[in-house]
Structure 1
């Protein structure tokens, strides 16, 4: 082996080690940030007996962000509905060996199984089947139709609480879902408490770098110790997301992403609505 090859191998090895070091450092910063939010930047929240609707952009968001509160309320017999906005078909768009329709079918079944674990009956689960990854491409007419569908569900069920992904969740589908739901609440004329849950915000952003303190305002922490095992089991139902779907693929969710969702607390953010 000549000196050139040796130097190239050393460069590649150094590059890989540096990348791994930076990734681990970021993971540590993310963990410290979340623990700060959990124990210093949030107020305690007690579970209520208020009925609720959870709006999830994708199949798995409801279990990750709200699995604990869903299980706690269902154990108390509180009525709950879960609405999935997109069909989930975009999670494996780069995999040419599995069709979009197959992914949609897999994720729908995963959702039904996960919510059954959490205590939600299939009749209380709704799929709006909008195109995953394309909410920002909807025409004005398609947006209005989606808002109408949401408003109809809100009006018919009449929930006292609504949970939806954070307005700044660093995902276009998640952020647009928030805007659609907020508009639908106003259109339906229902009086509800609106709560936001973060999926990507606390993974993709770091405080004092690209995350502002006011984006974490109104944070509350909920203890889910008594139902943690149910939530964990529900999350593990989504095998298509945290495991490779075939021998040539990698998992959709990045390494280290899931750790905070297995903790015995959930964090929610109180959102303000215009007074009716």
Structure 2
């Protein structure tokens, strides 16, 4: 499916994206995998870039004696900030909600949206980067609606792909009538993107005492580094109906 989408993608020019720019990650490392080259380009252009982490990331190694959940969450938060620093995002512009990793389906979307909106209020996003609405991870799908609805209507919204190329079935991809596809070559940002991914040592085999713990597949890392990064811009820039009803 990736091969069928990429030829029709338009080249994304980071200069066309106004700031402040906010990049939202359901988990630490999502932005490193999905849009690190774009973040590096934006900070290189002097754009004001903020980052928001939604979950605590504490479920990746649930049976590790050396990394109980609290320690793992603290470690992953540090990794997330280190990865963003490699891309030029200051720690003073990082924000974390600390919601439970793997359990966002139990969080009220209206409550999540309210918290996100309060954080956005300090520097309302003119460009919002968030995971694709049907990215094949339940936390990614749970984040999309509340985050989309928390930004002002005028904000430009680009949805980035994380797990879609690896795990997405054909119905998960955007249709030609649903969204415009933008493509960004990793290019000269490859080394910085590699640094951002490498910062997430816990997800790259750094925890050895949980045989069933999560590890990023080398093939996925290579795909992320080789690019291109894909972004989907919906033709209908409207708030999800469920959020409109709850507003």
When normalised by structure 2's length, the TM-score is 0.86
> How many residue pairs end up in the alignment?
234
After the TM superposition, which residues 99-110 of structure 1 pair with which residues of structure 2 at under 5 Å, given as runs? 99-110=68-79
**Secondary structure, aligned partner of 2:8:** coil
Instruction: Please name the residue that 2:192 is paired with.
Output: 230
Question: What SS does the aligned partner of 2:184 have?
Answer: strand
Q: 1:243 to 1:251 in 2, by over 3 A?
A: farther
1:50 aligns with 2:18: yes
RMSD, aligned CA: 2.1
Q: Which runs of 5+ in 1 are unaligned?
A: 1-32
| TM-score (normalised: structure 1) | 0.78
Runs of 4+ in 1 over 6 A off after TM superposition: none
Residue 83 of structure 2 is matched in structure 1 by 114
Q: Is the 8 A contact 2:136 2:172 kept in 1?
A: no
The residue number in structure 2 matching 1:7 is: none
Shift of 1:87: 0.6
Task: Give the aligned partner of residue 81 of structure 1.
Answer: 50
**1:205-216 correspondence to structure 2 within 5 Å:** 205-207=168-170, 211=172, 214=175
C-alpha distance in 2, partners of 1:259/1:191?
Answer: 35
Structure 2 segments unaligned to the other structure (5+ residues) = 240-247
Could you say which structure has the larger radius of gyration? 1
Asked whether the 8 Å contact 2:134–2:173 carries over to 1, the reply is no
More helix per residue: 1 or 2? 1
Q: Give a deviation string over 1:136-165, Cα, whole Å, max 9, x none.
A: 012x3xx33321121122232122110101
Structure with more relative contact order (C-alpha pairs < 8 Å, separation 6 or more):
2
Q: Please name the residue that 2:104 is paired with.
A: 135
The equivalent residue for 1:270 is 233
CA distance in 2, matches of 1:200, 1:251: 14
**Aligned mate of 1:241, from 178, 203, 207:** 203
User: Once the 2 structures are TM-superposed, how far is the Cα of residue 202 of structure 1 from its aligned partner?
Assistant: 1.6
Rounded Cα–Cα distance in structure 2 between residues aligned with 1:124 and 1:154: 11
